[in-house]
Amino acid sequence: MGLNILNSAVMELAKANPDGIKNSDAAKYLGLQSDYGGFKDYLSYSILGILMKEARMERNEKKRHIAKSE
């Protein structure tokens, strides 16, 4: 259930930004940043990866993630 909420939040952020979002945008604007062990923004990378695997999002040449219509 939690993963579905996170996926939906990232999709809504991407839909609100038609030029696409960067991983850092998702982490920053959705409060997903972490300083644990010097690693940050891995959660948002994972969510973007899931959405691309599900063909709900694609990454363009500018490394921005674009929401596909559902």
CA 6, CA 23: separation in Å to the nearest integer? 13
In Å, how far from its chain's centre is CA 1? 17
d(CA 13, CA 67): 9
Global pTM value: 0.89
**For residue 21, what pLDDT is reported?**
97
State the CB neighbour count (10 A cutoff) for residue 38.
Answer: 6
Q: Per the structure block, which two tokens stand in for 70?
A: 């559902």
Q: How confident is the model at residue 69, as a pLDDT?
A: 75
Walk me through the domains of the chain, giving residue ranges and CATH numbers.
2-67 (1.10.10)
Each residue of 20-60: pLDDT tens digit?
999 999 999 999 988 777 778 889 999 999 999 999 999 99
Residue 70 pLDDT level (bands cut at 50, 70, 90) = low
Collapsing DSSP to helix, strand or coil, 40 comes out as coil
Name 23's bridge partners: none
What does DSSP assign to residue 21?
A: B
* pLDDT (mean) for 7-27: 96
